[in-house]
Structure 1
């Protein structure tokens, strides 16, 4: 067997083993999630605070659907660090030692930003959107009657996209580190980025103005944070490049 083909098969085998481990951990975490889903659902129901309404099941499958969605979301969040670590282990042989250390440091940042995004979306964005829609319902002389499936569908449609959007600074930092992006490019394409982010916000949020704004505004703020993060990384790169040039000149003179 040619060495090149053998190397490819080894990589495929390694990827297969790591995917099996990820699926196994995800499955075990989902089993744990099934036992605590009721407590999680009860906690999620407490937002917005002080709201008084009854949940309704409009289909025999509503409760099962909610349980499974909460369980899967819980399993994905808890398994994320392990998944990222396994992916890092897979690409590690193709990286230099310095690159291995640099990429490994991104895993805690990814997890941290996801947690911050979940907290912001759940504690800020969702309550504001929910209160607004409830006021609109009452203003039209309607009685708020919420199905449990529709309630959680509305929650997840806001929380999940906003949480994922909080990974934008980490992604920009990583691409800047690879010298694919820099602050000049981000400044140059700001207006196009704003337009794209607004379009994305309208696509991933419920079809109402307040929801669009609740998703679009954090996205735009995160873009500006990403520009700042990229500037910091870029300045460090320029300083390192200048230092290398200085060292090279000194060696040449010596």
Structure 2
């Protein structure tokens, strides 16, 4: 009877020790994650401070760029129109008149805009900190397979930002600024509305361009396969066309096609990524079965 009690006591102590060890491990992981998040936040604060200090450049050149007829996209459209003998391509006037309706509006505008710029500039470093956090939990093969995570994710985000800024934002602003229901209605846009439109279209496109990275993660988890993506390609095409129609409110097919083509390419690239993951998983399974 005494031995039985001793065994129960020993098991209880052992289970308590295991639970305590697991809890300590969990809190240790939280502490490590906290350090990575703090470093990421510091980096974003630094970039935000730089954007705030050089705000004149960012505002006049970057933020207000699509509101000027000298913008790169409009100049390229004019050259394309001249080459195709389509003068309608040339945008020689953009009716954007901005107003501020709040006392502290311009100050909060500078703060919010600087933060968004700092977030965009600090995004690669944020990805780097995420990689440092998940890297110790990966096996050697998984580590090698995901070694380019930060580079590819950053490049895709940059491409998305550039495409969203120079194509989607420029075309959307030129169309919306000149759209009139009636001549009796004058378009006066608040500065908040303008910057919100530029930031949303640009950053959202950067996020959409991360699709291959998302597919890579889902394929590794076994949630998504290349076969499924090929079988549902027709539905994906419809969804992409709907997204292109929503993102670009211009009614012409040319603009919709220009926006949808990169999305089609992203989907095909995602199929290629999922196929590579499937092949690697199959090879790993065959190696395990043969051993």
TM (norm. structure 1) is 0.79
Structure 2 residue aligned with 1:227 = 268
Structure 1 residue aligned with 2:98 = 55
**Counterpart Cα distance in 1 of 2:134 and 2:68:** 45
Structure 2 residue aligned with 1:11 = 29
After TM superposition, give the deviation of residue 11 of structure 1 in Å: 0.9
Does structure 1 residue 210 correspond to structure 2 residue 210? Answer: no
Structure 2 residue aligned with 1:129 = 172
Distance 1:81 1:215, change over 3 A: farther
Structure 2 residue aligned with 1:46 = 65
Does structure 1 residue 24 correspond to structure 2 residue 65? Answer: no
Cα displacement string for residues 139-170 of structure 1 (whole angstroms, at most 9, x for unaligned residues): 73544433222211222232222221111122
Counting only pairs closer than 5 Å after superposition, residues 63-142 of structure 1 correspond to structure 2 as 63-137=106-180, 140=183, 142=185
**Counterpart Cα distance in 2 of 1:9 and 1:55:** 50
After TM superposition, give the deviation of residue 40 of structure 1 in Å: 0.3
Give the match's secondary structure for 1:104: coil
After TM superposition, give the deviation of residue 15 of structure 1 in Å: 1.1
Distance 1:220 1:245, change over 3 A: same
Structure 2 gaps, min length 5:
1-16, 70-93
**Counterpart Cα distance in 1 of 2:109 and 2:158:** 21
Q: Is the 8 A contact 2:95 2:177 kept in 1?
A: no
After TM superposition, give the deviation of residue 232 of structure 1 in Å: 5.4
**Counterpart Cα distance in 2 of 1:64 and 1:218:** 34
Distance 1:242 1:11, change over 3 A: closer
Cα displacement string for residues 172-198 of structure 1 (whole angstroms, at most 9, x for unaligned residues): 234334543222111333455456667
Structure 1 gaps, min length 5:
none
After TM superposition, give the deviation of residue 120 of structure 1 in Å: 1.0
Give the match's secondary structure for 2:103: coil
Paired residues, what number?
246
Cα displacement string for residues 81-131 of structure 1 (whole angstroms, at most 9, x for unaligned residues): 221121111112211012123223111111111111111111111121111
After TM superposition, give the deviation of residue 49 of structure 1 in Å: 3.4
Q: Is the 8 A contact 2:135 2:143 kept in 1?
A: yes
**Counterpart Cα distance in 2 of 1:245 and 1:101:** 20
**Counterpart Cα distance in 1 of 2:128 and 2:59:** 29
Q: Is the 8 A contact 1:162 1:218 kept in 2?
A: no
TM (norm. structure 2) is 0.70
Larger Rg: 2
